[in-house]
Amino acid sequence: MSTTTAPTGTTAPPVAAAPPRRARKGAGLALVAWLAGIVFFLPIAWMALTSFHSEADAATNPPSFAAPLTLDGYREFFGAGGGASPWPALANSLVASLASTLLVLLLALPAAYALSIRPVRKWTDVLFFFLSTKMLPAVAGLLPIYLFAKNAGMLDNIWLLVILYTSMNLPIAVWMMQSFLAEVPVAVIEAARVDGAPLPMILARVVAPIALPGIAATALICFIFSWNELLFARVLTGVVAETAPVFLTGFITSQGLFLAKVCAASLVVSLPVLAAGFAAQDKLVQGLSLGAVK
Amino acid sequence: MTATTTAPPLASASARTAHRPPDRLRAWATRAPLLPALVFMIVVTQLPFVATVVISFFDWNALYPKARRFTGVDNYREVLTDADLRHSVWTTVLLTVAVVLASLVLGLVLALLLDRRFRGRGVVRTLLIAPFLVVPVAAALLWKHVLYNPEYGLLNGLLHYVGGPQPDWISDTPLLAVEASLVWQWTPFMMLILLAGLQSRDQQQIEAARVDGASDWQIFRHLTLPHLRRYLELGALLGSIYIVQNFDAVFTITSGGLGTANLPYTVYQTFYQAHENGLASAAGVLVVIGSLVIATFALRVVSSLFREEASRA
């Protein structure tokens, strides 16, 4: 650990090198941080390793760390053993997540524009209305939505989920995009307008370059929340429109030796979220805290 | 809200001239981009809730639709006096408080560790975020089958090495089992928020305190902690909002058994399995009232942070 970069710095005014005790403490804390990271990651690492073990090797006590690797767990999960194939569920999840994210962007972008670049009157009140809908527990509206879907013949229909996921993510997206669009300097937009640039050109040349990374992060976070959702999907879908999390609930009751299969399933279903999450890592906090933390 | 201080010149100008048609047209043109999102949210989130409140005043079992009748507040009386439902209220409180507090404390420790520069800090950060990025059902399955399994789960496997006991985690301590899996998933969330808080500290002030001879503990106690207060509040409140609504972990790990049914699970069960629409709605309304209490505080914290950001900009 280099003493020059340590933010803890030195107690005494400008001393060339930190006292050795401080350096040793820094190294100790770095070790603790590494240990914590490993402990938190251990269940995931173990899940990955187990998914490549045979069922017999996965179910031993003490655990077999060095057992031979195999793809059997994945083959089983993808239906080689005669079980239901997860592909329709994965495809449904993909459709629901992508379509709802797209719809969220279509609705949130103009809304964020009207809340930041050309704000309407009382724009903070509107912003807080969006936020307050997020605080209403989803379970409270579930029954009327179920009854409506049943009467309208929309049960087991993936597009109903698309609409519900859009409403679930729209407040987050409006908040995030409002904060990203607010970073676009108004003076630049005004200057472009004075120069006679039409609105589409201002949006494309001035606003988009500054706001695009934020928009991408917003989209990734909306994708994650839609992909993860279980309660609505569980209640409102059946055989046709079931999503990947609903498919996973099939593993809740034990089915004999099936650990490798469960691990393979959990990992495959989580992969898109892990990928999207790491891609959006830098903006993750801002999204999760609804733009309150930057 | 003082955040509107940036808007008044615009707002008052349009208010003064609102009676002239062209200006009114312009006001609507400004509003137009907002309307689709606003109307969508009102229709999809507010109307169903109004319906829930209405249904909660009816005695309505979906299996006997003809017997539906208005019963006033009977459903609420039943929800509040029913031992199982009361228990699920208590479970919800316990679950939320335990998970939020534990993940907040752990998250604070991890954020403090990560706030220092050291070799591989980026890697450790990534390792720590990972649990939050496992699909909740998958995470619950992982804990239920792969970690907690009494015969060949990883926890008992590791205990085996040190000759420890071999408990049946889920049967022995069901609520704690659910809580542990949720703490594992939510600690990264708290850590990220608190880390952002730590990194927005005034470094000059800390340096000045250090030059004046303040110890690490004094700096933490008198500078860092007060600065973090609102980030801690924000983490606690947002965490509460999500965990009060938790369904996935309870549904997956214990299926609501062994006294772990929280309110969302109970609402789900009351209408999806018992078909008691009226009762489920009353319970749902109670969940909302509970959330509104938290939400009021949450909105206050968010708006104060928001104001600070606006005044800084």
Query: Which of the 8 DSSP states describes residue B59?
Result: E
Q: Is B292 left (phi over 0), alpha (psi -120 to 50) or beta?
A: alpha
Q: Please name the residue that has the structure tokens 């309110």.
A: B263
B150: contact with A, CB 8 A cutoff: no
What single string gives the DSSP state of each residue in B141-172?
A: HIIIIIIS-TTT-HHHHHHHHTT-----HHHH
Q: Could you write out the three-class secondary structure of B280-302?
A: HHHHHHHHHHHHHHHHHHHHHHH
Q: Which residue of A has its CA nearest to B300?
A: A128
Predicted-complex ipTM score? 0.85
Does B302 sit within 8 Å of A120, measured CB to CB?
A: no
User: Rg of chain A's alpha carbons, rounded to an integer?
Assistant: 25
How confident is the model over A2-18, as a mean pLDDT?
Answer: 44
As a dihedral over the C-alpha atoms of residue B106, residue B107, residue B108, residue B112, rounded to 10 degrees, the angle is: 110
Which pair of structure tokens corresponds to residue A131? 């936020």
Report the number of secondary-structure helices (H) and strands (E) in chain A. Answer: 14, 0
What pLDDT digit, counting tens, does each position of A88-104 carry? 999 999 999 999 999 99
Stretch B136-155: mean pLDDT: 91
Interface contact B124-A266, CB threshold 8 A: no
Yes or no: say if B193 and B276 are a contact pair by the CB < 8 Å rule: no
Kindly tell me if the per-residue pLDDT of A27 is higher than 70.
Answer: yes
Contact status of B270 with chain A (Cβ, < 8 Å): no
Taking the CB of residue A37, how many other CB atoms lie within 10 A of it?
23
Is residue B166 over pLDDT 60?
yes
Report the pLDDT value the prediction gives residue B15, as an integer from 0 to 100: 46
Contact A33 B197 (CB under 8 A): no
Buried b (16+ CB within 10 A) or exposed e, B206-215: beeebeeebe
Give the pLDDT confidence of B31-63 residue by residue, as tens digits. Answer: 888 899 999 998 888 888 888 888 888 888 877
One-letter amino acid at B202 equals: D
Q: Which CATH architecture has domain B82-312?
A: Orthogonal Bundle (1.10)
Chain segment A199-229, per-residue pLDDT in tens: 888 888 888 888 888 888 889 989 999 999 9
Rounded average pLDDT over B53-74: 79
CB contact under 8 A, A29 and B118: yes
Q: Are A247 and A86 in contact (CB under 8 A)?
A: yes
Does pLDDT of A18 surpass 60?
A: no
Q: Is A238 on the interface with B (CB under 8 A)?
A: no
Of the listed ranges B2-6, B42-46, B255-259, the least confidently predicted one is B2-6
Q: Where are the domains of chain B?
A: 82-312
* E strand intervals along chain B: 58-59, 69-70
Domains of chain A by start residue, with CATH: 87-288 (1.10.3720.10)
Could you tell me the sign of the dihedral formed by the alpha carbons of A287, A275, A208, A130, in that order? negative
Say what angle helices A158-181 and A208-228 make with each other, to 10 degrees: 140
Residues, chain B: 313
Q: What percent of chain A has pLDDT over 70?
A: 92
Burial B136-170 (b: 16+ CB within 10 A, else e): bbbbbbbbbbbbbbeebbbbbbbbeeeeeeeeebb
Which among A135, A267, A270 has CB closest to B241?
Answer: A135
Q: Tell me the pLDDT tens digit for each residue of B180-201.
A: 999 999 999 999 989 988 888 8
Chain A from 90 to 109: CB within 8 A of any B CB: 107-108
Tell me what the mean pLDDT of segment A65-76 comes to.
Answer: 86
**Amino acid at the residue B224:** T
Q: Which residues, numbered 213 to 232 in chain A, qualify as contacts with chain B under a Cβ-Cβ cut-off of 8 Å?
A: 224, 227-228, 230-231
Shortest CA gap B152–chain A (Å): 5
How many Cα atoms are found within 13 Å in the side-chain-facing hemisphere of B275?
6
| pLDDT (0 to 100) of residue A230 | 93
Please tell me the distance in Å from B98's CA to the nearest CA on chain A.
Answer: 19
- Structure confidence at residue B129 (pLDDT): 92
Q: Is the pLDDT of residue A166 over 80?
A: yes
* Nearest-CA distance A30 → chain B (Å): 6
> Closest residue of A to B213, CA-based?
A11
SS3 breakdown of chain B: % helix, strand, coil, rounded to 5?
Answer: 80, 0, 20
Structure tokens at A200: 């589409």
Contact B291, A137 (CB under 8 A): yes
Of residues B95, B106, B242, B91, the one with CA closest to residue B184: B106
* Alpha carbon of residue B230 to chain centroid: 16
Establish whether the linkage from the previous residue to A62 is cis, with ω within 30° of 0. Answer: yes
Specify the range with the lowest mean pLDDT, choosing from A49-58, A181-190, B132-141, B211-220. A181-190
Lowest model confidence (mean pLDDT) among A41-50, A57-66, B40-49, B219-228: A57-66
pLDDT at A292 over 80: no
The whole-chain average pLDDT of chain B stands at 83
Radius of gyration from C-alpha coordinates of chain B = 25
> Which tokens go with A177?
């995009």
Q: Is residue A265 a contact partner of residue B138, using CB atoms and an 8 Å limit?
A: yes
Rounded Cα distance between A122 and A288, Å, is: 24
Whole-angstrom distance, CA of residue B298 vs CA of residue B304 = 10
CB B71 within 8 A of CB B58: yes
Q: Which residue has the higher pLDDT, A250 or A135?
A: A250
Q: Exposure string (b/e) for A223-255, b if CB count within 10 Å is 16 or more?
A: bbbbbbbbbbbbbbbeeebbbbbbbbbebbeee
pLDDT tens digits for range A226-244: 999 999 999 998 888 899 9
Question: In this complex, is the C-beta atom of A256 within 8 Å of any C-beta atom belonging to chain B?
Answer: no
Given CB atoms, is A200 within the 8 Å cutoff of chain B? no
Of the candidate ranges B163-167, B214-218, B291-295, the one whose mean pLDDT is the lowest: B291-295
pLDDT band at B3 (very low <50, low <70, confident <90, very high): very low
Distance CA B22, CA B291 (A): 44
Region A127-146: mean pLDDT is 82
Q: Is the pLDDT of residue A135 over 80?
A: no
- CA atoms of A49 and A4, how far apart (whole Å): 40
> Taking residues A45-74, what's their average pLDDT?
86
Task: Find the residue in A nearest to B164 (Cα).
Answer: A62
- Helices B263-272, B277-312: axis angle to 10 degrees equals 140
The answer to whether residue A142 neighbours chain B at the CB level (below 8 Å) is yes
- Give the integer Cα–Cα distance in Å for A157 and A220: 24
Q: Which residues of chain B does A179 touch, with a Cβ-Cβ cutoff of 8 Å?
A: 309
> What whole-number distance in Å separates Cα of residue A289 and Cα of residue A175?
10
CA-nearest residue to A277 within chain B is B133
Length of chain A: 294
What was the pLDDT predicted at B296?
A: 80
**Chain segment B85-98, per-residue pLDDT in tens:** 788 888 988 999 99
